């Protein structure tokens, strides 16, 4: 569609909004229209309706009439959002993206979508009778199989699948963007995020990796070289369709190999800052204790103390390094020169990359100089100390239920809902305190785990479960008892800071000497108007 026609629609949308008392950004409307129409093949009327409806929502203008459903689901087949592992299904879908097959057994792979959602699909090379699928075309798949790997569904087209092209005109309205914090494993219909931090490539197979962020949260992304995708530009804002999210150890990251995106400049998300780029130092840095590491580059002298299972076939090794002060996760990606470390051996690792993600640091060793050392070292951990008055026991303290999915453990809602894994009735009970410890200068958020909560309160998890099930207030009663027992008490805590949260690892009631008691009583007396 040519620019004149797109301009006409832009003017019409803009006029409509002006009549509602808002003045929209015409350039942005024009860009979106041309992306929908020219890049996604959406029919102009649908693109217009979609953009108008999004802008109505943005400016909180009530819609007189909801847009009509764009997808005519009159037949009996199922929709993408209803697919479940093991199903044999018939679906009518549009091929929205093709990716290079990962194995010779696969002839085509990519993303298929309908009005309800999107899913990865593969066509097996053995099923040579199947037609070659083309991006932008709609197909009816009869007897395809829904398979799952690590929680990710995919649609398998095999020799028994009947594939027919749908020639009648259909359109697929792109989904609205969802906040990063709501992403679950699977194909993500649409997100909008700023590219805020580019990481050094840990592997030669990788084209780009780094962080995407929206106003609410941040997420790691990867583009593999095999995808042939163009790289993102640091600082730009992207509307990204059909990325694939996967989960490991309760953390979600996304791969953009299947995705298509629209770029805007960074001013579209002014409140999301871009990280400053840290240059790799030319000379070897002096050794820094692990406890003092910060994001950037560092040289460490450490022992390989724990090997972890590789979460990706592109990973050569991951695990824990430890020194006298602390321990930290490390990763080595597969490339032509990387060698694995030997367990229990001590190394000097010069100019390793220290990455920061969600407040946690990890070491990436691919571009570092790794020198094996003789001898051993004494492992240790340095805990920070925080002393103060436990002035508040916050909501979410006491008896809680956790998601039982391995590596997740998120706290479930009252309805036993995990934000990632839906309803979990086989929950695990746990006890904790989230509180505020006032050290006299600042109110600090602190977290006590089950062992500490039990030790401080004298109430075991089993007793808390008993209280939670046998009293009228239930779990709230547990919280009340914790507050009665611990509220206002002075504690000496040792632990570690995680962003703004102090995670307590040791705690005891503070013992005061006589002088301190006098001072405190005087302070308390002032608070009560001197009537103590």
Q: Which is nearer to Zn ion, 251 or 367 (CB)?
A: 251
Provide, rounded to whole angstroms, the least separation between the CB of residue 461 and Zn ion. 20
Provide, rounded to whole angstroms, the least separation between the CB of residue 119 and Zn ion. 21
Task: Confirm if 140 and 92 have CB atoms less than 8 A apart.
Answer: yes
Pull the structure tokens for residue 332. Answer: 């080595």
Pull the structure tokens for residue 159. Answer: 């020799």
Number of residues that bind Zn ion (CB under 5 A): 7
Q: Which is nearer to Zn ion, 187 or 418 (CB)?
A: 418
Q: Which is nearer to Zn ion, 277 or 414 (CB)?
A: 414
Q: Which is nearer to Zn ion, 373 or 422 (CB)?
A: 422
Provide, rounded to whole angstroms, the least separation between the CB of residue 282 and Zn ion. 45
Provide, rounded to whole angstroms, the least separation between the CB of residue 117 and Zn ion. 20
Provide, rounded to whole angstroms, the least separation between the CB of residue 217 and Zn ion. 17
Provide, rounded to whole angstroms, the least separation between the CB of residue 151 and Zn ion. 11
Provide, rounded to whole angstroms, the least separation between the CB of residue 424 and Zn ion. 7
Candidate segments 125-133, 175-183, 278-286, 400-408, binder of Zn ion by CB under 5 A: 400-408
Q: Which is nearer to Zn ion, 61 or 405 (CB)?
A: 405
At a CB cut-off of 8 Å and minimum separation 6, what does 77 contact?
89, 90, 91, 92, 140
DSSP calls for 193-229: EEEEEEPPPSSTTEEEEEEEE-SS-EEEEEEEGGG-P
Q: C-alpha distances in angstroms, 166 versus 91, 129, 175, 393?
A: 11, 18, 22, 60
Provide, rounded to whole angstroms, the least separation between the CB of residue 269 and Zn ion. 29
Q: Which is nearer to Zn ion, 334 or 401 (CB)?
A: 401
Q: Which is nearer to Zn ion, 81 or 413 (CB)?
A: 413
Contacting residue, 316, 368, 403, 483, with Zn ion by CB under 5 A: 403
Q: Which is nearer to Zn ion, 42 or 403 (CB)?
A: 403
Provide, rounded to whole angstroms, the least separation between the CB of residue 39 and Zn ion. 36
3-class SS of residue 423: strand
Provide, rounded to whole angstroms, the least separation between the CB of residue 407 and Zn ion. 9
Q: Which is nearer to Zn ion, 298 or 418 (CB)?
A: 418
Q: Which is nearer to Zn ion, 8 or 181 (CB)?
A: 181
Buried b (16+ CB within 10 A) or exposed e, 425-462: eebeebbbbbbbbeeeeeebbbbbebebbbebbebeee
3-class SS of residue 188: strand
Task: Confirm if 190 and 259 have CB atoms less than 8 A apart.
Answer: no
Q: Which is nearer to Zn ion, 259 or 420 (CB)?
A: 420
Site for Zn ion in 404-443 (CB under 5 A): 405, 408, 410, 418, 420-421
Is residue 183 a contact point for Zn ion (CB under 5 A)?
no
Provide, rounded to whole angstroms, the least separation between the CB of residue 420 and Zn ion. 5
- Work out the angle at residue 504's Cα, subtended by the Cα atoms of residues 502 and 505, and round it to the nearest 5 degrees: 140
Q: Which is nearer to Zn ion, 71 or 427 (CB)?
A: 427
Largest Cα separation within the chain, whole Å, is 92
Site for Zn ion in 476-515 (CB under 5 A): none
Q: What is the dihedral of CA 220, 224, 228, 233, to 10 degrees?
A: 30
Q: Return the residue matching tokens 């931090």.
A: 197
Question: Among all residues, whose Cβ is closest to Zn ion?
Answer: 403
Nearest-angstrom CA–CA distance, 113 and 243: 12
Q: Which is nearer to Zn ion, 218 or 421 (CB)?
A: 421
3-state helix, strand, coil in the chain (%, to 5): 20, 40, 40
Task: Confirm if 344 and 270 have CB atoms less than 8 A apart.
Answer: no
Provide, rounded to whole angstroms, the least separation between the CB of residue 419 and Zn ion. 7
Task: Lay out the site mask for Zn ion across 84-113 (x = CB under 5 A, - = otherwise).
Answer: ------------------------------
Provide, rounded to whole angstroms, the least separation between the CB of residue 418 and Zn ion. 3
Q: Which is nearer to Zn ion, 106 or 408 (CB)?
A: 408
Site for Zn ion in 444-463 (CB under 5 A): none
Q: Using CB atoms within 10 Å of the CB of residue 178, give its burial: 0 to 12 exposed, 13 to 18 middle, 19+ buried.
A: middle
As a whole number of Å, the CA-based R_g of the chain is: 28
Candidate segments 101-109, 381-389, 396-404, 464-472, binder of Zn ion by CB under 5 A: 396-404
SS (H, E, C) 49-70: HHHHHHHHHHCCCCCCCCCCCC
Site for Zn ion in 50-69 (CB under 5 A): none
Strands 346-357 and 315-322: unpaired
Candidate segments 174-182, 201-209, 402-410, 457-465, binder of Zn ion by CB under 5 A: 402-410
Candidate segments 161-169, 398-406, 496-504, 524-532, binder of Zn ion by CB under 5 A: 398-406
Provide, rounded to whole angstroms, the least separation between the CB of residue 398 and Zn ion. 20
If we measure between CA atoms, which residue out of 96, 97, 78, 95 comes closest to residue 87?
A: 78
Q: C-alpha distances in angstroms, 473 versus 99, 180, 467, 483, 509?
A: 55, 36, 9, 15, 28
Q: 475-486 vs 450-457: helix axis angle to the nearest 10?
A: 60
- Contact residues toward Zn ion (CB under 5 A) are 403, 405, 408, 410, 418, 420-421
């Amino acid at each position: 569609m040519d620019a004149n026609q797109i301009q006409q629609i832009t003017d019409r949308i803009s006029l409509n909004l002006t009549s509602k008392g808002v003045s929209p950004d015409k350039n942005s409307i024009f860009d979106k229209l041309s992306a929908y129409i020219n890049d996604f093949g959406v029919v102009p009327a649908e693109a217009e309706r979609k953009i108008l409806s999004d802008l109505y929502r943005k400016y909180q203008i009530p819609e007189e009439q909801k847009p009509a459903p764009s997808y005519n689901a009159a037949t009996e087949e199922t929709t993408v959002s209803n697919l479940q592992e093991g199903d044999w299904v018939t679906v009518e879908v549009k091929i929205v993206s093709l990716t290079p097959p990962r194995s010779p057994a696969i002839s085509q792979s990519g993303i298929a979508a309908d009005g309800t959602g999107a899913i990865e699909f593969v066509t097996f090379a053995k099923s040579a009778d199947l037609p070659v699928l083309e991006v932008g075309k709609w197909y009816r798949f009869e007897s395809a199989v829904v398979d799952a790997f690590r929680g990710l569904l995919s649609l398998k087209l095999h020799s028994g699948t009947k594939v027919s092209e749908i020639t009648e005109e259909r359109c697929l309205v792109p989904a609205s963007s969802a906040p990063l914090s709501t992403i679950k494993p699977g194909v993500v219909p649409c997100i909008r995020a700023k590219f805020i931090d580019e990481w050094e490539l840990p592997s030669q197979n990788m084209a780009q990796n780094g962080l995407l962020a929206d106003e609410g949260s941040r997420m790691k992304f990867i583009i593999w070289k095999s995808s042939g995708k163009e790289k993102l530009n640091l600082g730009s804002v992207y509307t990204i369709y059909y990325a694939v999210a996967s989960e490991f150890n309760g953390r979600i990251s996304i791969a953009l190999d299947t995705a298509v995106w629209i770029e805007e400049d960074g001013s579209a998300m002014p409140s999301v800052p871009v990280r400053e780029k840290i240059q790799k130092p030319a000379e070897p840095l002096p050794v820094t204790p692990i406890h003092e590491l910060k994001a950037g580059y560092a040289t460490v002298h450490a022992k390989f103390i724990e090997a972890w299972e590789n979460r990706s076939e592109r990973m050569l090794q991951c695990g824990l390094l430890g020194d006298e002060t602390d321990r930290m996760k490390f990763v080595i990606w597969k490339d032509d020169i990387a060698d694995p470390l030997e367990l229990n051996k001590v190394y000097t690792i010069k100019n390793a990359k220290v990455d920061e993600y969600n407040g946690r640091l990890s070491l990436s060793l691919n571009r570092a100089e790794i020198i094996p050392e003789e001898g051993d070292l004494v492992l240790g951990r340095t805990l920070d100390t925080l002393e103060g008055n436990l002035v508040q026991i916050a909501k979410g303290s006491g008896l809680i239920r956790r998601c039982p999915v391995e590596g997740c453990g998120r706290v479930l809602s009252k309805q036993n809902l995990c934000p990632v894994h839906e309803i979990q009735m086989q929950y695990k009970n746990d006890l904790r305190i989230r509180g505020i410890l006032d050290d006299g200068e600042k109110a600090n958020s602190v977290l006590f785990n089950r062992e500490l909560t039990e030790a401080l309160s004298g109430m075991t998890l089993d007793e808390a479960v008993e209280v939670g099930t046998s009293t009228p207030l239930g779990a709230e009663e547990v919280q009340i008892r914790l507050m009665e027992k611990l509220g206002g008490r002075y504690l000496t805590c040792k632990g570690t800071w995680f962003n703004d949260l102090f995670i307590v690892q040791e705690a005891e009631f503070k013992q005061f000497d006589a002088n301190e008691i006098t001072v405190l009583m005087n302070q308390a007396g002032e608070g009560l108007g001197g009537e103590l």
